[in-house]
Amino acid sequence: MYLTKEKKQEIFAQYGSNAANSGSAESQIALFTYRIQHLTELMKRNKKDQVSERALVGLVGKRRRMLDYLKETDIQRYRAIIKELNLRK
């Protein structure tokens, strides 16, 4: 399994305020980004895997909506997470 409980806690601790803060926008965006990267690598190997492709598109949409929300509410946090995760925008 690629996403263990320990890996989630590590992501939440790094991008959220603490390891227990799993609901912040930054930690959710970081988790979506990690999952997107994993599915992208999977899609490179299995080009005809339609289920993974649908999941990837859904995750990209969720991350985009979360980034739009963060951009509207707090532009400084938005810019910080974009820079930290090296997302294009």
Per the domain annotation, does 76 fall within a domain?
yes
Cβ neighbourhood burial of 9 (10 Å; 0-12, 13-18, 19+):
middle
Please give the residue range of the domain that contains residue 62: 54-89
pTM: 0.90
- Please classify residue 5 by burial: count the beta carbons closer than 10 Å to its beta carbon, then call 0-12 exposed, 13-18 middle and 19+ buried: exposed
pLDDT of 63: 97
At 88, the pLDDT band (50, 70, 90 cuts) reads: confident
Q: Which helix (H) or strand (E) holds 40?
A: helix 25-45
Does the pLDDT of residue 82 top 80, yes or no?
yes
Does residue 13 surpass a pLDDT of 70? yes
Number of independent structural domains in the chain: 1
In a domain, 23, yes or no: no
62 assigned to some structural domain: yes
**Closest of 30, 40, 32 to residue 83, by C-alpha:** 30
In a domain, 41, yes or no: no
Query: Per-residue pLDDT for 1 more than 80?
Result: no
77 falls within a domain? yes
Task: Write down the pLDDT at residue 50.
Answer: 95
